[in-house]
Chains A and B, each alone.
Chain A
Amino acid sequence: SQTIHQWPATLVQPVGSPLSLECTVEGTSNPNLYWYRQAAGRGLQLLFYSVGIGQISSEVPQNLSASRPQDRQFILSSKKLLLSDSGFYLCAWGRGVGGDNIQYFGAGTRLSVL
């Protein structure tokens, strides 16, 4: 069966520090990978998605970047964190193109930038 791992679960970082969140998927190959952010009391905002190694699509301009160095690894990074980067970050994987694009989420990382 497929599993998705995301770490760390919580992170407290000072403003201006770098960020690296990692997500890995097991039990499948060539998945579509996604990074979302949920701000307090808000819905899920898609930040990046990837349909293959080295292929990254950005949904919103921001202080973050994403990379996919391996088929089942997706990394979210920042060189200098801002206060507004605080939130709950979720990684997800999906199989489909078009119909039936069910996405499966990791447990999330709570990031607090102070």
Chain B
Amino acid sequence: DQQVKQNSPSLSVQEGRISILNCDYTNSMFDYFLWYKKYPAEGPTFLISISSIKDKNEDGRFTVFLNKSAKHLSLHIVPSQPGDSAVYFCAVQRGDSSYKLIFGSGTRLLVRP
């Protein structure tokens, strides 16, 4: 049973527009949420995170929104650039001394010039 779901396997966006990537989770005990970006044949790189005490975290062009009641996480990229084309994974963690991250299946973003 998937605890973290990224229901859109792919997304295509025009350069300069907003990219919105979504992630849903099932367990209300998760309290730390992360987004990773992955290029082909490379390891994922950490992008941005948010704890459950917040509903928004912003870092430059990247903003993560958390809706705890809906168990929904989203990543907004504004403006989108061709270099943002990659696979984006959301990951979740339980705060009760868990060392583990649980990853979604990823969304492939293509930003068209």
Chain A interface (Cβ < 8 Å from any Cβ of B): 6, 9, 32, 36, 42-46, 49, 51, 59, 90, 92, 94, 97-108, 110
Q: Is B49 an interface residue (CB 8 A)?
A: yes
Chain B interface (Cβ < 8 Å from any Cβ of A): 6, 31-32, 34, 36, 41-46, 49, 51, 89, 93-106
Q: Is the CB of B99 within 8 A of A97?
A: yes
CB distance from A43 to the nearest CB of B (A): 4
Cα of A84 to Cα of B58 in the assembled complex, Å: 40
Give every chain B residue within 8 A of A108 (Cβ-Cβ): 41-43
Closest B residue to A110 using CB positions: B41
Q: Is the CB of A44 within 8 A of B44?
A: yes
CB distance from A73 to the nearest CB of B (A): 17
> Which of A42, A59, A99, A105 is within 8 Å of B45, CB to CB?
A105
Cα of A104 to Cα of B51 in the assembled complex, Å: 18
Give every chain A residue within 8 A of B98 (Cβ-Cβ): 98, 101
